[in-house]
Structure 1
Amino acid sequence: MVQVQTEVSAGSEVAAPRPPRLTRRVREQIAGYLFTAPLVLGFLAIVIGPLVMVGWYSLHHFETLTGQFTFAGADNYEALADDPRLPGVLAATGLFVVCIVPLGISLSLLLAVLVNQKLPGIKVFRAIFFAPTLVSLAAWTIVWHFLLLPNGAVNSLLRTLSIHGPDWLREPGAAMAAVIVVQVLKGAGMNMLIFLAALQSVPKELTESARVDGAGRFRTFRSITLPIISPEILMAVMLMTIGAFKVFEQILLLTGGGPGYSTTVLIFYIYRQAFGTGDLGYAGALSLLMFAILLLLTAGLWQLRKKVVFYESD
């Protein structure tokens, strides 16, 4: 009996299952890498890859008309300093961004406050204010092009008020103002929804306590509501800043960058250099300049959050 039990024990030791080669932690890590792989590969293919190619083109003279592709070193970057039109283009870009962001944020916040009221039919007004966001960008711009013609609806309305309207699309100052207004009205609806959701998340007990203490509507909004929704405002400012640098279709369809170069912003100037003159190398240098400007602005706004953004945990 002892011998049989010994043999059985020995057989049991031989037949014991081996531990798995991959532990549970390793399997979870592999699964995590597999799930994130499509995102990483897409980021490399759509963002990093084109950025590297732009940098490569910027180091060459690449003329699409002649097919010439020669190494240029830093020539394209030196040309940035010698380009007589670039300061005006940067000034127009700065003016465009500086006007778009405050006007867009103010209008969107005002609309959000208005449609946040509990009034009959308020949902209809929400839909009306949001409708421009759903309209095709090209269709929206073409309609405004006809409205802003010298004999268009805008000047006709001004004439009824005994005001002589300018040629909106052919006078430098008026053309820039027209592009800014068209862009602000197009994007106001989306930011309105963001701010509306933020306003509805403000705790009612805080605003009611402020009113009990004697604070008026404006004081309550400035001291309680604005600090609480400041993260959403900062996010909208960052998105609008980046979006203002990418406005292209409106300028192409409304003014074509004119009159002269008065509405030629940086991205439209890049388009002109790449597809107008066919100089992809210089266009690549301009693109990296715009990337550097956006990177600095985004980093600055992100650092600004420490001073202007309210955090409930602080």
Structure 2
Amino acid sequence: MSITSDPVSPLPPHSTRRFWTIARRDALAGYLFAGPQLAGTLVFVLVPLALVFWYSLHEWNVLANTFEYTGLQNYEQLLQDPSLLGVLLASALFSGGLVVLNMSLALLLAVLLNQKLAGIAVFRTLFFSPVVVSLVAWTIVWGFLLQNNGGINGMLGLLGIQGPNWLRAPGTAMVSVIVMQVFKNVGLNMVLFLAALQGVPRELYEAARIDGAPRFAQFRRITLPLISPTILLTSIITIVGSLQVFAQIAVLTQGGPGVSTTVLVYYLYQQTFQFHRFGYGSTLAIVLFAIVALLTLAQWQMRKRFVFHEQ
């Protein structure tokens, strides 16, 4: 006797599939994590950049409440601006001096503080502490020190030296601002270099000493190549930061004497908020963005030649 049962028809293929597969759940989690960063980049970077470019094509007078399309007139005026060359030279001088002094001093301090000595942590804290101090407060204190009758000239007077008026002399104003900024931020690069130095394997130095390599050769052949990614990072951060300096100039020199310390950001501020030329100020902002982007791209392209891990 055979037992028969009714055949069960198979379900359609689509009804057995689940919509929330593992891949889709992982993709959704990724979008949720990246969403706030993408939204912030869109709202606070891309949209303002597009608006600045749009404003640069107009003449916007806030006082008269006028907003007129002028095309490339602001860019033509940029090429005829007699002050622009001096502003760019001041910006280049400030950035070049700051980058060279900051990174050189930071690397030197990192090498000196990368020693296993008693109390070395105290010195690390002392050199890093200016980084967390308020920028305006730090600048005001240095303004008092650099006055004609300030603390620095007072100490020089004890040695019988007549100090200059640091912030009012064309030859010393820019140097004073650069030195002030170096002491403010050298601790940040020092900490980055110190972390990179502590990541260099000790075995490489031991092998070099066995082979009779002097200390300078060890530094040049071992230390510099292995910390080159950190050097690239600090150079990008320092250059971008140097091109965005404003508070130091506004508090110490107001761009003077003459235009000797009028960097591009401060000139942008003057044109936009003092002279109410918002269209021309937006054009200067586009120039600043282009300079920062080109320098960053150039450094990034050079990494294959100078960065050890990219070779």
Q: TM-score range with shorter-chain normalisation?
A: over 0.9
Q: Which residue of 2 aligns with 1:143?
A: 141
The answer to which of 181-190 and 31-40 deviates more is 31-40
Deviation at 1:147, TM superposition (A): 0.5
Q: Deviations over 1:1-51 (max 9, x none)?
A: 867x523x42x7469963224543234323322332221111100100110
Residues 1:6 and 2:32 aligned together: no
Q: Structure 2 stretches of 5 or more lacking a match?
A: none
CA distance in 1, matches of 2:256, 2:105: 27
Matches within 5 A, 1:43-54: 43-54=41-52
* Structure 1 residue aligned with 2:158: 160
Deviation at 1:206, TM superposition (A): 0.5
Q: Given the alignment of the two structures, is residue 61 of structure 1 paired with residue 21 of structure 2, yes or no? A: no
TM alignment of 1:107-118, pairs within 5 A: 107-118=105-116
Structure 2 residue 8 is the aligned partner of structure 1 residue 20: no
Give the superposition deviation at 1:102: 0.8
**How far apart are residue 119 of structure 1 and its match?**
1.4
**Aligned counterparts of 1:176 and 1:215: Cα–Cα separation in 2:** 41
CA distance in 1, matches of 2:290, 2:206: 46
Match of 2:257 among 232, 256, 259: 259
- How many residues align structurally? 310
Runs of 4+ residues over 3 Å off in structure 1: 12-17, 21-24
Q: What amino acid does structure 1 have at the position aligned with 2:49?
A: L
Tell me which residue corresponds to 2:186: 188
Aligned counterpart for 1:35 among listed residues 33, 36, 50: 33
Structure 2 vs 1, CA of residues 159 and 2 (structure 1 numbering), >3 Å: closer, same or farther? farther
List per-residue Cα deviations over 1:120-140 (Å, max 9, x = no partner): 111110010001001000110
Letter in 2 for 1:229: I
Q: Look up the equivalent residue of 1:250 and give its one-letter code.
A: Q
Q: CA RMSD in A?
A: 1.8
User: What is the rounded CA distance, in whole Å, between the counterparts of 1:32 and 1:302 in structure 2?
Assistant: 27
Aligned to 1:127: 125
Change (3 A) 1:187 1:14: closer
Q: What is the TM-score of this pair, normalised by structure 1?
A: 0.94
Structure-2 separation of matches of 1:60 and 1:14? 65
Deviations 1:155-203 (A, max 9, x none): 1122223322110111112110110001111110011000000111111
TM-score relative to the length of structure 2: 0.95
Paired residues for 1:237-276 under 5 Å = 237-276=235-274
2-structure distance, mates of 1:208, 1:14: 70
CA distance in 2, matches of 1:257, 1:309: 37
